[in-house]
Amino acid sequence: MLLKKTNPSTWIQFFSGEELKKELNNIDNLSEQKLDELSELFLKDFKNGQLEPHGWPVEGGYPAYKVSKALANAYSRIIAKKHPTLCINCVHPGYVNTDMNFHTGVLTVEEGTRGALILALLPKGGMTGAYLDCTEVASFV
């Protein structure tokens, strides 16, 4: 059973700019073109050392990784809206113990796959445009 999580782990939580958060959360005005524009803006701000003043993630490092995840999440909602007969969702598996993070993760690979399995086994007509934090439905923002 999927539950609504009260303290979700979202990629957008790393953004300090309210305008950026608002744009990425507004599914009615979000488009592939808008995501391309935001991606280009991020690259420009990154090159010019303007991430923090413009509200991009900087705390904790890895700003490009965090932005790419937020944009991928937003893109999944755009595609879900565009194709409502398909089940299109995204999942954050959690901090999984893998080679990529030098085995510093707190979840086993098996635990990290649970959310993806839940989504893969959704029945026809199941939820779409959702974001799972591990195995729980979470808010995008």
pLDDT level of residue 140 (50, 70, 90 thresholds): confident
Catalytic one of 62, 65, 75, 131: 65
Residue 133 has phi, psi (to 5 degrees) of -100, 105
Average pLDDT score over residue span 40-64? 95
What is the per-residue pLDDT across 98-127, written as a single tens digit (0 to 9) for each?
Answer: 999 999 999 999 999 999 999 999 999 999
CA distance 33 to 120: 28
Active site residue 62: no
pLDDT at 7 over 50: no
The 8 Å CB, 24+ separation contacts for 88-91 are 88/128, 88/129, 89/119, 89/122, 89/127, 89/128, 89/129, 89/130, 89/131, 89/132, 90/130, 90/131, 90/132, 91/115, 91/116, 91/118, 91/119, 91/131, 91/132, 91/133, 91/134
Q: What is the pLDDT of residue 10?
A: 74
pTM for the full model? 0.85
